[in-house]
Chain A
Amino acid sequence: MMAWTASLRRTGACAKLAILIALCAATLFPIALTVTNAFMSEREISHHYGALADSGDTSADKDASAMPTKHVSIRWIPERATLEAFGDVLFNHAKFLTLFWNSVKLTAPIVLGQTVVGTLAAYAFAKLAWPGRDKLFFLYLLTMLMPFQVTLVPNYLVAQKLGMLPSYGAIIWPGVFAAFGVFLMRQFTAGILDVYLEAARIDGAGHFRSFVHIVLPLVKPGMTALMLLAFTDNWNMVEQPLLFIAEPFRQPLSIYLAQIAEGDQGVAFAASVLYMTPMVLLFLYGEDQFVEGIQRSGVKG
Chain B
Amino acid sequence: MLKLRPHSLRNAASILAFLGPSLAGFLLFYLVPFGAVVYYSFVDTPVRSRFVGFDNYRLLWESASFRKAFGNSLAFAGVSVPILFAVSLALALLLSGALPLRRTFRTVFLLPLVVPVASIALVWQALFHWNGAINGALAEWGLRPTDWMNTRWSFTVMVAVYIWKNVGYNLVLFLAGLANIPVDQREAAAIDGAGPWRRFWSITWPGLAPVSFFAVVMSIVGSFKVFRETYLVAGAYPNDAIYTLQHFMNNSFQNLDYSKLTSAALQLAIVIGAAVYLLFRAERHVREGAEG
Contact = CB atoms under 8 A, between A and B. Distances in A.
Interface of A: 13, 16-17, 19-20, 23-24, 27-28, 30-31, 33-34, 49, 51-52, 54, 56-57, 59, 62, 64, 67-68, 70-74, 117-118, 120-121, 123-125, 127-130, 136, 139-140, 142-143, 145-147, 149-158, 173-174, 176-177, 179, 182, 194, 197-198, 201, 206-208, 211, 232, 235-236, 238-239, 242-243, 253-258, 261, 268-269, 272-273, 275-276, 279-280, 282-284, 287, 290-291, 294-295, 297-300
Contacts of B221: 145, 147
A238 B224 CA distance: 12
A70 B135 CA distance: 10
B224 A147 contact: yes
B84 interface: no
Size bracket, chain B contacts: 35 or more
B265 interface: yes
A147 B26 contact: no
Contacts of B61: none
A67 B139 contact: yes
Nearest to A281: B114
Contacts, number: 317
Contacts of A201: 2
Interface stretch (B48-56, B185-193, B199-207, B225-233): B225-233
Interface in B77-113: 91, 94-95, 99-101, 104-113
A298 B116 contact: no
A153 B115 contact: no
Interface of B: 1-4, 11-12, 14-15, 17-19, 21-23, 25-26, 28-34, 36-37, 40, 46, 91, 94-95, 99-101, 104-127, 129-133, 135-136, 139, 144-145, 147, 149-150, 164, 167, 169, 172-173, 175-177, 210-211, 214-215, 217-218, 220-221, 224-225, 227-228, 231-232, 245-246, 249-250, 253-254, 258, 261-262, 265, 268-269, 272-273, 276
Contact of B18 (A120, A254, A284): A120
B109 A153 contact: no
A120 B22 contact: yes
Given A17-B100, A258-B122, A297-B214, 9 more contacts: A121-B22, A147-B227, A153-B262, A158-B33, A177-B25, A198-B2, A242-B231, A290-B110, A298-B214
A173 B33 CA distance: 14
A99 to B, nearest CB: 10
A184 to B, nearest CB: 12
A27 B175 CA distance: 18
9 contacts: A28-B111, A124-B18, A129-B2, A151-B30, A151-B36, A154-B37, A201-B2, A255-B232, A280-B114
B253 A153 contact: yes
A121 B17 CA distance: 9
Chain B CB within 10 Å, residue with most, of A56, A70, A73 = A56
Given A72-B126, A254-B117, A268-B122, A242 B250 contact: yes
B147 A57 contact: yes
Contacts of B40: 153-154
B34 A143 contact: yes
Given A124-B19, A149-B250, A298-B215, A74 B121 contact: no
Contacts of A273: 119
Contacts of A287: 107, 110
A262 to B, nearest CB: 9
Contact of A72 (B95, B131, B176): B131
Contacts of B147: 57, 62
A151 B2 contact: no
B123 to A, nearest CB: 4
A74 B15 contact: no
A283 B110 contact: yes
A52 B118 contact: no
A27 B33 contact: no
B105 to A, nearest CB: 5
Contacts of A173: 25, 29
A157 B46 contact: yes
Most buried by A among B2, B29, B126, B246: B126
A155 B33 contact: yes
A291 B29 contact: no
A232 B176 CA distance: 21
